[in-house]
Structure formats: structure tokens, C-alpha cells
Structure 1
Amino acid sequence: MDASNGPGGDERPGLAILLNGLTPYNVHLCARLGREMTDVRVHSVFTTSGSDWQEIDLPPEANAARFGHAETDRQEDWSTVRLSDIGRARRIFEHLRRHRVDAVVHCGYASLLHLRLIALCRAAGMSVFLRGDSNIKGEGRRRFPMSWLKKRLLGWAIRRCQGVMPMGEYGRQYFEKYGADLSRSYLVPFEPQYEKFTNVDRALVDPFGAEHDLSADRRRMLYCGRLVDVKRVDLLIDAFSSIAERRPPWDLVIAGDGPLRADLEARVPAALKDRVRWLGFCEVEQLRLAYHLCDVLVLPSEYEPWAVVINEACAAGLVVVASDVVGAARQLVRDRESGRIFRSGDVADLTDALLDVTDDATWGQYQGRVAGVLADWRRDADPVDGVRAALRAVGVLEEPRMNTDGHG
């Protein structure tokens, strides 16, 4: 464990954000909170040590501490109970108490570790908020008895929190189903470091394109993600195959890897093998280059709580086609205005959407609105604003004072 320095004589209120994974968007949020919320002592606590992003540097403003064991932290779930979580919860709680934390944002609830921490923090008088990317469209995937257990444990957690922090509208509906009071709901969505995806060096893009045979004279649809069942890449390959003859300038690019890769490669018709490019797993720095070699992002998932790749693609100026279960698409894609939403699992509906966005005139109209839709979302659902509103609601921060002219 790497513990941060003690608060000393700093009398600002203390905020802790508890995160499961050391991912780029989690680190970005911690850095923003530490940098922008100067009226609060921010403590970032990573409850696990395991990560797919081990090389990520933690900026000093994140004021981070890490707990856990990499070999056991790969999956947190109610179906896996580890007695060691009780001791780890106590160590994390003592860290919070030592640093005089007043409010805690729990990013997760699906483990004994989180439930124990919620109980300890509430008993100590800390204000507790529950943040998660779950959305209402993902309901129904669990069967009895896990659905019964989830209803009781999540309901228990929500009743002990002063508010919830969903990612978007589908998340609000999800928390409401389990008993949350939406008057105490604060949007704190995932977000990437937007400028990294908006601004790229063409001197890097062109060599990347040459390396992967992505010539400048072609138009491209991009899929980015794991190659597993729930992502429904098979649906995308079938839809692309059905429109390929009518859209000769367009190719399909698959960025990602997984157990289904061989089956998916075999699914591509022989006549289209040279129009489907397989990039394999891409690091963030590679992916941001890939966005700028493509025109449309397609996300055909049948289960997708949020999908930060949509935020990234919009920042890069891509038109997005996504299924109607994707959390980020609900907020960042206005159907037939800035992109397309299709019925999850419906290959005919996806095919129609692809035909629509690959029409030159339509693509231009949609693409011209992408930046404005993204700007609206960033204004209305800034995660730092959401955290600040939650702290004000429980009195950890004061409400902004009004000037005599009525303005803050």
C-alpha cells in the first residue's frame, strides 16, 4: 500500500473516491477532482492492485493510495465471497479515517468489500455516495437466486447512501428500480481525456495507416472492443457483408481481440476478406490514431453498461451507430440527427442503419452535428460538477454565495 501524506493542519473537508480499476478514465477523473476541486482535500483510493493498465502513471494531484492483491483482484462479484475482503475493507476505512474524510464516493457495490466499506463509512458519520455504470437495459441477465440476492444487497446499499451517481439516463432508471431517490441523483459519467482524441499528429496517423494497410482513399467503419459473445461482432460482420456490394468505397476495421477472433474471421465472406482489417488489441495511443483513419464507429453490443469508446469516437469526429442498450449511446447519439440507434440483436435494423450512415450526404449531415451533441453532454453532465453538487447537497461544501445582483 502506498499511503498519501497526512492532512496536517489542512481544514478543508475531505473527499475520497474509491475505484476498482487503474484505468485511463478513472485516473483522469481523479486528476480532475484533485486539480479542480481546490476547496476539498481529494483522496483517490484504488481498492484493487490488479489492472490491465499497469503502466499508467498516477499524477500527484490524484493523491492516490492502492490496496489489494493483483492475483485475487481480477473479478469482484457477489458470487465470489473472500473473507480477506473484510480485512481489506478495514484497512481502507482506517486510511479514510486517518485522513479525516467527510464524504466517500464508492465506485462499485458488487462485493463484500464494498458492502463492508459502506457500512463502516456510514457508522463513522461519513456521507456516502454510490457510483456505478450499470444501466436498466442490462437487467434480466441474472437468474434466481443471484437476482434475488442482488435486489436485497443493492437495495441495502442504496438505503445507506446519501445519493447515487449514475452515468446517464439508463443508469438513473437502474438505480431508481432498486430504491434510489432520484432527487438525490448526480451525474458522474465516465469520460476520456477528450483532447487526446480530438487532436492527433498527422505525422503519426499516416505511418499507422500504412502499417495496417489503411489507405487514405477508403472510407471505414470501426469496431473497437473485445471479441466476445455479448459484443455481437458477428451481427456487424453480417450487416457489413449485406451492404458491401452497394457501398464499394467502404471497409470494416476491427480493433480488438478475444476468444471469438478465429470464428469471426471465418465468418467474413471470401470476396470481402480484403475489405475487413483486423488490428488486434490496440493501446490507447494506437486507438486514437485508428479513430482518425475511420469515419463511423459501430457498437452492436447486446450488453454494454456505458462504453467510453463512444465518448472517444465523438471527440475524434466519428459518426456513431450503436444498439439501443448502450448507456453512452443514449446520451451521445441522437438518432437520425448525429448518428443511428438500432434495436439490439436485429441484423436488419443494423443493416438499415449502416446503409444510412454510409450514404455520403447523410454521413455529412450527421457528422456535422457530432461535436455539438458532445459539447451539450459535457456541459450538462460534467463529472466534477456532479461531485460538487452532491457535496453541497449534504453540507460538506457550502452553496455558492450570490452577489447582490443575483449572480453567483
Structure 2
Amino acid sequence: MDRLLEQGTDLYRIAVVNSHPIQYFAPLYAYLNRNKELKVTVLYCSEFGLRGDIDPGFKKAFKWDVDLFSGYNAVFLGKRASRRVLRGYWSLIVPEIWSEIRSGCYDAVWLHGYGYAANLIAFLAAKSKGLPVFMRGETHLGLSRSGWKKRIHYFLFSRVFRFVDALLAIGTANRQYYRTLGVPDRKIFDVPYTVDNDRFIAAASLNPDERDAVRTRFGLPLDKLVVLYASKFMRRKHPDDLIRAAALLRDRGYDFSVFMVGSGEMDTELRTLVQNLGLTNVVFSGFINQAELPRVYAASDVFVLPSENEPWGLIVNEVMCAGIPVIVSDEVGCVPDLVKDGINGYHMKAGSPQSLSDALEQVLVDPERRADMGRQSLAVVRNWSYEQCRIGLLEALTMALPRLADRQKKTAQ
């Protein structure tokens, strides 16, 4: 008889393997855990992000200032979790995963990607115990790989995915990637990349005085449109393209402010570029933590993410919760699902300040269109939520654990 039926439990007990606490994921686990059919335990390999670590993208030490642990069970694996750092595949060899997954406490294992050796250990432990393995990753076909790397990747993972019981697709581009590698549709379930919409929408609901106060705090003018960039200052995200686009628009006679939120390797270079181009409308804030960001979004009028080679871009979800238009490059993974060209924003060509300036001009010139695009952003993101994740995960569990699903149906009758 199935071990679950012998124990008499009606819960799907899920072990989620994460490298470290991630601000985007923790609220999702709490949401799922509130479902009467789910019990979520997250196995963390490292305390990165809790102890003032230096983020390689931001180039500064930080601690997240939002709650990462309420509403679900979190387990840090081994005493070394407090010392482990994230430095590539072999930096997370976590032998404690083996015994934890084989402990009999779980019915399915959910791996976030395959970027660390810990994921492989967890995969092998689950298979040795006869537990179904789900995988949720960020890859899509538009991500840049050299020819030989792409061939090796496709050869290897087209075989690995045969042994994964369910692939949890974060969006359209990710689903197409799985299909291209030969995964049948019956094994792909939609568990979209989402943020805590309720928190971001509520925190971004500012009255005019509150909006002005945010602008005043950061030295932004109250009477000009604000174009926001909020991400790491790194080359593949092309923050310099917004500054160059601002110069092009200045030369066309447009008067607005650019708000550069973040930090990173290009910080000095970006400030020098502003000086060299003679721009006086650019404000740098430095790193802003999670709790403050929704207010920053709400104080802005349009958001820009000109990245190349971007797996998803969860910042786009966050900003859309503030009800503003978004201009996002065609190499960002969220574009097919969240950015409706000409509806709630525009697509742009990655690496092209000219393409960005043309898209921005269409938003800046027409206040009615800009307001409608903001409303459309909010409408789109409301339907891209944790509830869709819950539905997709339960569908995957029902497929992978049919006997428990049958028991749950009988209990409900």
C-alpha cells in the first residue's frame, strides 16, 4: 500500500530546495502553505542575504528588510549553512540534503533550477526514495549561449528532463524551452513567476501628498514626469542605454527626470556618462531595499528595463503593481506574458538607445495613453498571481501522486 495512505495523511508534503532565502519566493511558499492540501517546507542551503553579505551584482553588503520566514516551515541544512557562500556550482555541496529528503517527511521534492551541486544531491536522494521530483527554472530559448555550449546543454538536459516528473513553467518562453528539449506537454505545468501582488499593490497606493513626499525625499521634481530604472547597475542590464536615450529625447525637446535606483559595477561609469552628456535631469538614489521600493514605483510615471539575456525580470511584476507603463527589451523572459506592446507599455530592442528613446517618446507625449497603459499594467499583473501557482502545483501533484489525489477526493465527498 502507498506510504501516504498508510500514514493516513491528506496533505501533499513538499520539500522545496533553495540555495538561500529569496525575497520573491518566500511569500509564495507562505501562500501555498495556507492551502489545506499543501504543507510546504523549504530546505535552505545557505543564509546568504540574512547576514549582510556582499551581493556581486549590487557590489555592496545588504540584508533584506522584509519578512522571509512567516507562514511556512524553513530548514537550514547543517551548521555550515551560516558560512556557505554562493560562488558557482560547487560552492553548495550540501550532504545534509540526502538524509533530510530521505527522512520520510516529504511526498515530493521541488528543485529550483540546477545551478548548484546541492540540487543534484537532492535529485538523487529523491529518486533513491521513490519521490517525484519537480523542477522550476528560468531558462528560455532567447538566452545567449555559444554554439557548442548550447549543443551540450540541449543534449544533457533533454535527457535529464526525462527523469523529472514535472516541469513547473514560469511563463510562455520557459514552457517553449521545455517543449524544444522534448518534454511532453503532459509533464509541463504552469507555476508562473510572480511576486506578492497584494503587498506591492497596497504599498504602492499613495495619495498625491505621499507621492510628492517620496519625490522630495530623493530630490525629484514634483512637476516633471519621472522615468524609472530600478535594478543592478551591470552591463547586461544596460542602464547606460536609458541615460543615452534621455540625451536623445532632450535633443528632441522633452523635459523629464530619470531616476536611477540601484548600485553595481557601472555606478561610477554611469555618473560620468551623465556628466559627459551634459544631462541635468538624472537622479541617483543608490540601493533601495524591498520595503521602500513600492513607494518608489508609485512616485514614478514609467519604468524601463533594457536588459539583454534576462531570464525573467521580476522587477517588471513589481512595478506593474504600481499601475505604471513598462518599456522592456525583447530579450527579457517576462515580455510574452506581461508586456503587451502598445497596451501596457512597449517592447524595445536590447542594446539600442534609439529604440528605447522611440518607445519612451510615445509614452511621454500622450498623458491619456500613459494613464490607460498604467491601468492595463495593473490589470495584467492581477491575473499573474500566486493563485495560478497554487493551481499549477496541485495539478502537478495530482499527476505525480495519483493515489493520494484519489484519497483526497474521497475525503471531500
Q: TM-score range by the shorter chain?
A: 0.7 to 0.9
Q: Distance between the aligned counterparts of 1:158 and 1:317, measured in 2?
A: 38
Matched, 1:199 2:211: no
Partner of residue 81, structure 2: 69
Aligned to 1:377, the other structure's residue is in SS state coil
What is the TM-score of this pair, normalised by structure 1? 0.86
Deviation at residue 181 of structure 1 after TM alignment: 2.0
Q: Distance between the aligned counterparts of 2:133 and 2:283, measured in 1?
A: 47
The one-letter code sitting in structure 1 at the alignment partner of 2:321 is: A
Unaligned runs of 5+ in 2: 1-6, 50-61
What's the CA shift string for 1:3-55, capped at 9, x where partnerless?
A: xxxxx98563321111223121111111111112x223321112322225465
Q: Distance between the aligned counterparts of 2:380 and 2:284, measured in 1?
A: 30
Find 2:328's aligned residue among 310, 322, 327. Answer: 322
Q: Distance between the aligned counterparts of 1:119 and 1:179, measured in 2?
A: 22
Partner of residue 333, structure 1: 339
Aligned length: 385
**Is the Cα contact below 8 Å between 2:263 and 2:286 reproduced in 1?**
yes
Q: Pairwise mapping of residues 260-275 of structure 1 onto structure 2 (< 5 A)?
A: 260-268=266-274, 272-275=278-281
Aligned to 2:291, the other structure's residue is in SS state helix
Unaligned runs of 5+ in 1: 1-7, 403-407
Q: Distance between the aligned counterparts of 2:222 and 2:202, measured in 1?
A: 18
Deviation at residue 269 of structure 1 after TM alignment: 5.1
Partner of residue 390, structure 2: 384
Identical counterparts, % of pairs: 24
Q: Distance between the aligned counterparts of 1:60 and 1:93, measured in 2?
A: 26
Find 1:370's aligned residue among 361, 365, 377. Answer: 377
Greater mean alpha carbon deviation, residues 218-227 or residues 116-125: 116-125
Aligned to 2:33, the other structure's residue is in SS state helix
What is the TM-score of this pair, normalised by structure 2? 0.85
Q: Pairwise mapping of residues 4-403 of structure 1 onto structure 2 (< 5 A)?
A: 12-36=11-35, 38-51=36-49, 53=63, 56-67=66-77, 68-77=80-89, 81=90, 85=93, 88-89=94-95, 91-140=96-145, 142=146, 144=148, 146-147=149-150, 149-200=152-203, 202=207, 205-246=211-252, 248-268=254-274, 272-360=278-366, 361-378=368-385, 382-395=388-401, 397-398=404-405
Deviation at residue 384 of structure 1 after TM alignment: 1.5
Deviation at residue 352 of structure 1 after TM alignment: 1.2
**Is the Cα contact below 8 Å between 2:65 and 2:291 reproduced in 1?**
no
Deviation at residue 258 of structure 1 after TM alignment: 0.7
What's the CA shift string for 1:276-299, capped at 9, x where partnerless?
A: 010111101221111111011100
1:211/1:260 CA distance change after superposition, 3 Å: same
Aligned to 1:18, the other structure's residue is in SS state strand
Q: Distance between the aligned counterparts of 2:215 and 2:75, measured in 1?
A: 39
1:336/1:11 CA distance change after superposition, 3 Å: closer
Q: Distance between the aligned counterparts of 2:81 and 2:158, measured in 1?
A: 29
- 4+ long deviations beyond 6 Å: none
**Is the Cα contact below 8 Å between 2:195 and 2:385 reproduced in 1?**
no
The one-letter code sitting in structure 2 at the alignment partner of 1:188 is: V
Aligned to 1:335, the other structure's residue is in SS state coil
What's the CA shift string for 1:120-178, capped at 9, x where partnerless?
A: 211211011110112221142x564x545533443343121111112101111222233
Deviation at residue 204 of structure 1 after TM alignment: 5.6
The one-letter code sitting in structure 2 at the alignment partner of 1:343 is: K
Greater mean alpha carbon deviation, residues 115-124 or residues 313-322: 115-124
Aligned to 1:390, the other structure's residue is in SS state helix
**Is the Cα contact below 8 Å between 2:45 and 2:81 reproduced in 1?**
no
**Is the Cα contact below 8 Å between 1:93 and 1:120 reproduced in 2?**
yes
Q: Distance between the aligned counterparts of 2:10 and 2:168, measured in 1?
A: 26
Which structure would you say has the larger RCO, counting Cα contacts within 8 Å and 6 or more residues apart? 2
Q: Distance between the aligned counterparts of 2:405 and 2:253, measured in 1?
A: 57
Greater mean alpha carbon deviation, residues 198-207 or residues 263-272: 198-207
Q: Distance between the aligned counterparts of 1:169 and 1:272, measured in 2?
A: 41
Q: Distance between the aligned counterparts of 1:284 and 1:264, measured in 2?
A: 23
The two structures, once aligned, show a CA RMSD in angstroms of 2.6
**Is the Cα contact below 8 Å between 2:169 and 2:191 reproduced in 1?**
yes
Greater mean alpha carbon deviation, residues 386-395 or residues 365-374: 365-374
The one-letter code sitting in structure 1 at the alignment partner of 2:375 is: G
**Is the Cα contact below 8 Å between 1:115 and 1:157 reproduced in 2?**
no
The one-letter code sitting in structure 2 at the alignment partner of 1:159 is: R
Q: Distance between the aligned counterparts of 2:67 and 2:385, measured in 1?
A: 25
1:332/1:358 CA distance change after superposition, 3 Å: same
